[in-house]
Each structure stands twice: as C-alpha cells, then as structure tokens.
Structure 1
C-alpha cells in the first residue's frame, strides 16, 4: 500500500460479530463457502486448481446460477476465492489415480483418465463451518480481499489479448501496464475514499461520485482549471475504476452504483466531450458512478493500513488507555468521533474516577497543556452528576478551578463559589491558547476575541499581568485577529508588557 500518509483519522466500526455477518452475506464469500461444502470428499480439478468444464457446470447449478449469463464467471470467481483462502485445498493426484464414478473426466473412448489434482474442503472450511469465531471469518475474508484486489489491478483480458505479439507472447510494453503503478493508483484511490469516510460525520453514509474520486488522485492541488490532458487522464481512470469497483462489490468491500452503460459508450466514442461532463455536469453526476466503502470495506482498509505501518485508529482504541493518552489524541479527532471515543472511555469507569483521572491529566504548564484542559472540559461534559465531589476537590487549583466551576454550574450544583478575578482571566488566556493550537485563526476564534474585548472594560490592562506561559502569545494573536486597528495596537502593547514581565 501507498504510505504517503502515516496517520489517518479514526473510524467507527461495528463489532466483529456484525462485520463477520456482513462478510458471510457477501455474494463472493457466501458462494465460496457453499462450494467448499460441495467439494467434498474430493473432486478433480486442473493443474492450477481450476474447475474442469463438467465440474464448473455442476458448480453453477449448485449455486443456482444456471439462468444467469454471468453464472459460469461468478462460479469460477467463487471457486478461486475458496482456493485462495484455504476454504478448498488442492491435493496432488498420484500418477495412477483416476477419479471414481461419474465425477472424473473421461477420454474419447469413455475410459476414465488421470487427473493432475483433486480439491476437497480445507481445514479453514471445517473450522469455519463448525466452530469458527467472527475473527476467523474475517481473517478468511481479508485473505480473499487481497486476491480480489490483485485481480482488480490485473490487465484487462481483452487488452491482454490485443497486446499479444506476433510471436504469441504478451507484449506488456505495448499493453502499457505496470503492476506496481496499478496497485499504487488503486491504493491511492481507496486511501482517499477511506479518508473521506473517516471524516464523514454520518459514518461515511454518503456515496462519492466516481469523477471526484478519480480527480482526487490525478488533478494537482494547485491546478485551478484542469487541462485537456488531465481531463482525459481522469476519464481513463474512471473507466478503470468502474471495472475495479464492479469486482470489489461482490466481496462486500464497496457499495457501487456503476457507470451508465450508455455513458461508457459515450466516453469511448467522444473522449473530449465526456471529459468535460465528468467534472462539470452536476445534474447528471450519478450517471458516472457512485461509490462508498461499506463498514466491512472500512475494516478491510484499516487492516491493510495497519499491516503497512500506517497509524489508522478506530473509535474505542483509547477506552482502556489513561486519560493522558485520551486528552493527547482527542484534538486530532473529528468532533463526532471524539465524542464517541469519550463516551466509550467514560463507560469503562465510574463517574468520580473518570473525572479525577481527567483532571489529573489536565494539569501542567507545557505547550500542549491548554489543549489538554480544553479536551478535559469537553470530556467532563459527558461525565454524570456523580462526579461532583471530584470537581469540588479542585476548586482551589489555579489550573483547574475555573473549569471545575463551569462544570458545576452547568450541572446545576448548589453553592458554587464565585471565582476570583485572576482565575477568570487565567482561564480566558488558557482557553484562547487552546483554541489557537486547535483552530489557528478561525472565524470562531475571531468572534471570541471580539466578544471578550467588548465585554470587559480595561481588558488588556488586566490580561498582560496574568501568570500564564501563553499570555504574551495570546495577546499577540488577539492583536492579529481583532479587526479594529486601535484595539489591535492595544493588544500588541499588552503583549510587549507581558514579555517584558517574564523577561522575554
């Protein structure tokens, strides 16, 4: 897999039991399991394990595909999946072996002839069909996925036949196909699809138009208007991706609405016209194919990324970690994923213990401490009222007393003491410092700065004296963010005083 991105946002995954049910329901996997059962005690196969013509016809009938035009191809795909994953095992035949009864091939004279190999249910099939765990089911699915991805990156058979040289050998130069490039391109596309799924608040429920997905790995980020050559490359990629997603759908990896067949012909007949439409026709965008990773596909991609050394967290990974790890990671999570992670973390602890652990992790004067305290405050909002004693224990703590009062007030606690003014301004500086780290110069932060200045007369005269490591940096940022020039100048003067006060 491509390793350009070393860290991915967290994804939300169903339980292994749910994923295993999805895997077994996928057409390719379910057919492979049925053929594994059917293959016992043993059936003759070709040298590479392929089904012989008679057995293929029987497999088609066994799967109920006799009336489908694609029945033989679908049965063959399922058989290869079974062989690749160990659901079916190949046994080399002895030279004198001939199949018994009607199962074996016969010569022109009707006499049974030796076969190079037999197939029979593999141990994986036995384990899976008798006592397999969800994890076992998914391990077999992952093995099969690698074979399907390899098939998706293989050259098109028609192109391969067209590329046969006069001497009868495939001319790969003429075919213009490179296995590594094909795999890297598909990995890039699937990586982008995974990223979009991880960042999607609704757990990746929205399908992505094929043109946008192809363009995401082809069109340079700094290109305002794609050139004709780039558009042609996008259209070529779309055609290839259409074929690949059709292969990946039967294993349950993606949900795919294929390209309109009429459009496929249109792209072939009028490349330039189709290029323009592929990136510009909003009304008809679904005609170009729509794809989304299924939860099973997200699981498969994450497994492959982890194997490749990519950091690909899942929501729930931090539930057994300490609060220090939780608060360190949360700022890098999308909002919905962060909330889900905290809910799982809190669920493993009683409210008071969770609150004490979060508060302890929120202490510190290091550069990351304000962001940890912001995460602490957000996490505490999901802790129940039973945590009140833990919050009262830190009311006099200079780092935590302010946020403790906020929590107690929001949760309707009685007799919450008024905070001293220095604690109010310290919390203000701490909050802005955290927001600067998390959001930089966001519109929300600009509004916060303007509100603070307008709501406190003599704000800067007080703030520059606040004993917080980030006071000067916060004041400089306020000078940069506030639209009023006079106020901005006052903020910069206050920042200078703060630095002078601390010898900086």
Structure 2
C-alpha cells in the first residue's frame, strides 16, 4: 500500500458514538478501573509495571482469574500508564497517582476520550507484535538486554507486517468493491500482504508463509479484539490435529470461516485512519470537504468511488443554498485540462441532487461550449420547458467528454465497453465525425474505443479516427 496516493474515503461514525464504544472496550475500561484504584500505597518497579505483590489485588479488582490473571492485570496496568491514566510521581520510591487524562474519560469531550483510546490502542498493537517467549518479559522488566537475533524475532519486521495487514484490512473495508462491511477471511488477509500481485499461482513456499502468518495473526487479532479494533472469529482449533502443526489452507469457500474471519469495527476504522494519517498516508474521511469550495470538492471526489462521491457531495450541498451551489459547481467544472471531463461528470452527478431552485443557474450556461450539454441534460430530465435542442457539434463534444470522464473514473470497465458498443451502433458514421471534435481528449477517447470494441472492423475504424484526430491536433 503506497502513501503517495489517497486511500478511498472512510465514512466515520459520529464521535460521541465512537467515544461510547471506546469507553466500553474491555482494555480501556480495565485500565480506567486500575487508574481509579491506584493510590499512595501502589508500588511499581523500575519499568513502571506493578510490582508482583500487587498483581493479585489488581487481578481481583478486574475480576480476572486463572493462570493468566496476573499477566492480564499487568497488561491492563501498562495500558493505563501509557494512556496517561496513571503517572509515576516518585521513580525512586516507585509510587504512582492518577494521571491527568483519567478525568477526560468522564469529563472530557468525545474527541478527548478517543485521544486516550488511541494511546491505549498503540500499546495493544505494540504488544501484539511481541511473541510469547519465556524469559522475554522478565528480561525486559529487569532492564536486561535481549538478544533478538537469538530469538529468531525481528521486532521491526513484525511491526511492519502487522501494520501492512491492518492497512490492507482498512483498505478492504473502505473500498467500494470490498466486502461492504462484512468480515474478511484470515487467509485472504494474510495472502494480501505475502503473495506478490503478479504471481498467478502461489508457490508451496508462499502458501507455507501464508499458513504461518495466519497463526500469528490469529494470536494478534485475539489481542486486538478487546481494544475494540476488530470483531474476530478465531481459527477453529479442531483444524489442527496436533498443537504443533499449522493448519492447511482452506480447500473451498464453504470452510473458509473456520480459518478465521475478521471485521474492522467503526471504532477500528477511526483508529486505523488515525494511525495511517500519523504514518503519512492520505486517508480522507467523508464530510471533510463540506466547508471547501466547489473546485476542491470536484477535484477530490474525482478520485472517489460513486457512493463515496455522492455521500461527500450530499454533505457539501446541505450547507448551501441550491442556486448558489449550482452556480459554484458549474464554474468549477470548466476547463480543458486532463481532469476536466471527470470534474464535469462529478458536477453533473452533484447537480442531480439539487432541486428545481437551481434551474436559473443551468439556463445561464446553455450557450457555454463546455457546460451547455450537461445543462440541457439536467433541464430535460426535470421536464423543463423551452430547452433548446443541442447542435450536432455539441452532441459529439458531450459524447467525447463523457467517455473521457468514464475512462478517468473506471478505466477499461465492462460498463465503458457497453457504452462504446452502444455509441458505435446508434450513430452511423460516428467515427467519421468524431475525429473532428475539438476536444483535448478526442484522440485518447477514440483510441480507447478501438481498444474496447469487440468488433475488429469497428475497432479499426476507431483507430483510424484516432490517428486523424492526432494529426489534426498536431497541425
């Protein structure tokens, strides 16, 4: 996943709703309980962790029992410390007190609560990359040196791998062609990071890497679920005949759920977006453009999928009076640059959401060579009277502009191929006239039509027309 181009926009839930979800997560609620419990008699070691003698009381407070109770209480304390819910007041004496951020959980704004939760999230994500190795925690607590090479563990590589997996989970969640909020199979998520995009069939070695990664991710997602990042259905333990064996890859779609299913929660989407922004990625959120100009709206939504573009535009329009909004959109849609056709398509889609109050703005541009076509479409669709018929030149110009916009938005899609076939069928002599259209994208559109049309004869006509258009532009 590259940080050079924007990710699809995420539709975030309202902050008050997210804050309530954050407060109810087991990790943050346990950390808050320990922070309120801590007092002058609470003692910590040199690393800030609770001394061993106090772990049983902490575990009892949290309602923990069993072999892992002390370790879980220690982990909850570490979250409280890292999130600012407790602070060390005397390092020599090892005493602590409630931290300033503890009050934010009850008296702060929703954004304050989410800021505390994000700190807790970082601690949990960091812990998830640490393997369960005997002696490692003890060595770290005692301030000793750990020989990572002898452990066959590269902390940075582990962190990068988990970040890559979480980044892909975010991308799958926010993409319009993703699972639409549904769970993602763990094998697919592991493969998305490990299998090269140009590999037609994974090798046995790559499949083994995916299988190994699935088991690491199974442990990691079990840790990430209590912080509210994901909803996770673990790998079915019955799949492993022996505790030391790795499960084989699923053989068909019917059993894939047994290999682990993970869903990013609304709170998780908020958290991963914050982490991506911190890492330098462009991770937009729907609604961010509501106070921007129409030029910014059209340029930005040109990179969005249709559903996200509509949601963003609806939030932009709700703040504006329809007539002035229509005028601003039309003004921003002008241009002869490469991005102009897609801006006009987004403008047309935005105007479809505006009521009849906008009609004067559309009539004002009927004679505009770049906007007159879409204005006629808008007026005709609403049954407006006295809409002048477009000239043949305007029809061809609008056709080229529309195909250029679709190319920019979707590439060589099936929908565009159907459009190309329809144009060639409905307009006899289309290519003989189209190459003369004075539009910057004429040659590119005709070349695309030649590439997309399945009929070899028609495709050849399109390529000839493209050649003539380029010759005309050069002359």
* TM-score above 0.5: yes
> Relative to 1, partners in 2 of residues 1:292 and 1:421: Cα closer, same or farther, differing over 3 Å?
same
Task: Say if 1:63 and 1:255 are closer, same or farther in 2 by CA, change over 3 A.
Answer: same
Q: Which residue of 1 aligns with 2:288?
A: 317
- Which residue number corresponds to residue 64 of structure 1? 63
Contact 2:3 2:282 (C-alpha < 8 Å) held by counterparts: no
Aligned with 2:241 (options 261, 266, 269)? 266
Shift of 1:180: 0.8
Give the match's secondary structure for 1:13: coil
SS at match of 2:263: strand
Q: Deviations over 1:189-223 (max 9, x none)?
A: 11111110111468852111111111111122222
- CA distance in structure 2 between the aligned counterparts of 1:482 and 1:201, rounded to whole angstroms: 25
1:46 alignment partner in structure 2: 45
Counterpart of 1:76 (choices 74, 77, 98) is 74
Structure 1: segments with no counterpart, 5+ residues: 95-115
* Separation of aligned partners in 1, 2:45 and 2:469: 82
1:91 aligns with 2:68: no
Q: Which has the larger radius of gyration?
A: 1
1:123 aligned residue: 100
User: What residue in structure 1 maps to residue 170 of structure 2?
Assistant: 194
Given the alignment of the two structures, is residue 454 of structure 1 paired with residue 431 of structure 2, yes or no?
no
Change (3 A) 1:59 1:188: same
Q: 1:358, 1:93 → 2: CA distance?
A: 61
Contact 1:255 1:292 in 2 (8 A): yes
In the TM superposition, 1:11-22 aligns within 5 A as: 11-22=10-21
Offset of residue 49 of structure 1: 3.0
The 3-state SS of whatever aligns with 1:314 is: coil
Aligned pair in 2 of structure 1 residues 432, 307: CA closer, same or farther (>3 Å)?
same
Over 4 Å off, 4+ runs:
2-6, 159-164, 168-171, 200-204, 267-271
Moved more, 486-495 or 240-249: 486-495
Helix, strand or coil for the counterpart of 1:430?
Answer: helix
1:173-192 counterparts in 2 under 5 A?
173-192=149-168
Residue 402 to residue 310, structure 1, CA distance change in 2 (3 Å)? same
- Give the unaligned 5+ runs of structure 2: none
The aligned residue for residue 404 of structure 1 is 375
Say which SS state the counterpart of residue 454 (structure 2) adopts.
coil
Q: CA RMSD in A?
A: 2.6
1:487 to 455, 458, 468: 458
1:364 to 311, 335, 339: 335
Residue 389 of structure 2 corresponds to residue 418 of structure 1: yes
**Of 295, 316, 325, which aligns to 1:345?**
316
* SS, match of residue 45 in structure 1: coil
Q: Which sits farther off after the overlay, 346-355 or 169-178? A: 169-178
Q: Displacement, 1:43?
A: 2.4
CA–CA distance in structure 1, aligned partners of residues 242 and 165 of structure 2: 21
2:44–2:96: 8 Å Cα contact kept in structure 1?
yes
Q: 1:477 to 1:54 in 2, by over 3 A?
A: closer
CA contact (8 A) 1:254 1:294 kept: yes
Q: Give CA deviations for 1:389-435 in whole Å, capped at 9, x if unaligned.
A: 11111111111111011111222323322222221111111111222
Compared CA separation, residues 61 and 362, structure 1 to 2 (3 A): same
Is the CA contact (8 Å cut-off) linking 2:27 and 2:226 kept in structure 1? yes
Aligned 1:102-501 pairs, distance under 5 A: 116-129=93-106, 131-158=107-134, 160=136, 171-200=147-176, 204-263=180-239, 265-266=240-241, 268-271=243-246, 274-275=247-248, 278-501=249-472
1:84 Cα shift? 1.3
CA distance in 2, matches of 1:236, 1:485: 49
Q: For the structure 1 residues 35 and 159, does the alpha-carbon distance in structure 2 shift closer, same or farther, using more than 3 Å as the test?
A: closer
Query: Alpha-carbon deviations, 1:155-189, whole Å to 9, x = none?
Result: 3234859999xxx9855333210111111111111
Task: Tell me the residue number matched to 1:97.
Answer: none
Q: Is the 8 A contact 2:186 2:261 kept in 1?
A: yes
- Number of residue-to-residue matches in the alignment: 472
SS at match of 2:446: helix
- Partner SS for 1:313: coil
1:502, distance to aligned residue in structure 2 (A)? 3.8
Further displaced range: 430-439 or 9-18: 430-439
- Greater alpha carbon shift after TM alignment, 292-301 vs 200-209: 200-209
Deviates more, 1:486-495 or 1:5-14: 486-495
CA shift at 1:81, angstroms? Answer: 0.9
